[in-house]
Amino acid sequence: MKSTLKIWTQLGLGTALAGGVLSACSDEAGGEGAGTQAVAPGDSAATIGGGTAGGEGEGGVAVADAGHDPITYGIALAITEAHVVAARDAYAAGEKQAAAEMFAHPAAEVLVEMDPVFAQLGVADFKPLLTDASIAAYDGKSTAEVNKRYDAIIAALRGAATKAPDNGASEAAVTAGVIADQIERASAMYRISASDDRFEAYLDGYGFAKVAETAFAASGAAIKADNPALHARITEALAVLTQAYPTATRPDALALNPGALSAASSKVLLALGS
């Protein structure tokens, strides 16, 4: 249990609690993890869901709406996916500590608040999968072992997606809303990175950009049929994001003026509302 206790110390007791590991180790809770604090929220960014502040400035999720609004529900899943994608790629690049943190963050920042919604919709608790992946990364397991845990999380997210609430919106409209949100989050994190050289903000943004890219690759044709102008603006924004976030490791100097991303994201949001 030493690895678990170190996770408590370095990532915050709130994350460990959200991952469900305290009950398994309660007899050792007086060790290294005693007296730690939960992960503190940072400044929030504008979100489609209009949520509350989330960790590290990436914004939150309007959890109260997630039980009936498929876009808000999808945003919660996408934020989780963004963190684990970033964690996987950071680990492959040798950033083990950052990967461990990225795997753990969604449990406390998003999923614990989504518990009532998941219970309502019949989604099994998968927070322990993130805790397990975080510990594997912290312990320096092989890339294959970490990727195996990543795959399990993605499978759980895909399963959760099938339980999304239905309010009559088309699948294309829902996916477009989630993509627009991820683009805006990636833009917001790039703005933060421009004045803060810590790796975490850049890595958050990288994850949001990658999830937007993946979702668009799967649903771009449907979005184009539903809203050609929105499809064009998303295509443009993703091209800018590719320049902004070329790899999971932060470059010595950021490639773009943050205003370029803000402008591209604004065009997506305008097209989304048209």
Give 97-100's long-range contacts (Cβ < 8 A, gap of 24+): 97/10, 97/138, 98/199, 98/200, 98/203, 99/137, 99/146, 100/7, 100/10, 100/11, 100/134, 100/135, 100/137, 100/138
- Report the mean per-residue pLDDT for the chain: 83
pLDDT tens digit string along 3-52?
444 443 444 433 343 333 333 333 332 333 333 222 222 333 333 444 33
The pLDDT-based confidence of 60 (bands split at 50, 70, 90) is confident
Say yes or no to pLDDT of 106 above 80.
Answer: yes
Mean pLDDT on 56-69: 77
The pLDDT-based confidence of 274 (bands split at 50, 70, 90) is low
Spatial separation of the C-alpha atoms in residues 188 and 51, rounded to whole Å: 15
Residue with tokens 């477009």: 176
Token pair of 25 as six digits: 């180790």
pLDDT tens digit string along 109-138?
899 999 999 999 999 999 999 999 999 999
pLDDT tens digit string along 150-198?
999 999 999 999 999 999 999 999 999 999 999 999 999 999 999 988 8
CA distances from 50 to 38, 64, 160, 266 (A): 23, 10, 21, 16
pLDDT at 59: 53
- State whether residue 55 is helix, strand or coil: strand
Residue type, 171: E
Contact 122, 160 (CB under 8 A): no
Comparison of pLDDT for 41 and 211, the residue scoring more: 211
Residue with tokens 């449907």: 222
The pLDDT-based confidence of 255 (bands split at 50, 70, 90) is confident
Mean pLDDT on 73-87: 97
Comparison of pLDDT for 37 and 227, the residue scoring more: 227
pTM for the full model?
A: 0.81
Token pair of 68 as six digits: 């009936």
Q: What is the gyration radius of the CA atoms in the chain, in angstroms?
A: 18
Spatial separation of the C-alpha atoms in residues 180 and 151, rounded to whole Å: 25
pLDDT at 273: 86
pLDDT at 61: 85
Domains of the chain, by residue range, sit at 1-20+58-168, 170-274
Spatial separation of the C-alpha atoms in residues 70 and 226, rounded to whole Å: 17
